[in-house]
Amino acid sequence: MKLVYPACFYEEDDDGGYSVEVPDLLGCCTQGDTLESAIEMAQDAALGWILTTIEEEEQIPKASKIEDIELSNGKGFKTLLLLDIDQYTQKYGSKQSVKKTLTIPMWLNKRAEKVGINFSQTLQDALLNKIIKIRKK
């Protein structure tokens, strides 16, 4: 699942680096020595913030429209961050697993096996998607 959040980038006068704030994610701030680094750091900070929120069973804030975001000092720029939750969770999420038993129709099982679907990953993706949709309401 992918989410999009606006971010504010501010060029630092003294060293040429950038500081970044993701206004919808309270306290989510970072910086980078270059614009490329600042973008990567902003994505990492936002993804970490969201993953922690999910793991603590708290509600993920709804993303604001970029046009509703105001720069704090008038200098800087706004852009959108694309956040790939599934990829980040696979890399940094909790490694503990829980075994679940479920029942599906035989015809669906045969077709899914025939095309090589990973049942565990599919269920994880579907559950995460459902949780995020419910929390956004």
Which pTM value belongs to this model?
0.68
- Here the tokens at position 127 are 């559950």
Single-letter amino acid, residue 90: Q
DSSP run (H or E) holding 9: strand 2-11
Residue range of the domain that includes 82: 2-136
DSSP-assigned states of every residue in 42-92: HHHHHHHHHHHHHHTTPPPPPPPPGGG---SSS-SEEEEEEEEHHHHHHHH
The number of CA neighbours under 13 Å toward the Cβ of 71 is 13
Cα-Cα end-to-end distance for the chain? 17
Report the domain count for the chain: 1
Quick one: the chain helix, strand, coil %, rounded to 5?
A: 45, 20, 40
Q: pLDDT of 21-35, one tens digit each?
A: 999 999 999 999 999
Is the pLDDT at 135 greater than 80, yes or no? no
Average pLDDT over every residue of 71-96 = 83
Q: pLDDT of 46-77, one tens digit each?
A: 999 998 888 888 888 999 999 999 998 767 99
- Here the tokens at position 44 are 């990492």
CATH number for the domain harbouring residue 62:
3.30.160.250
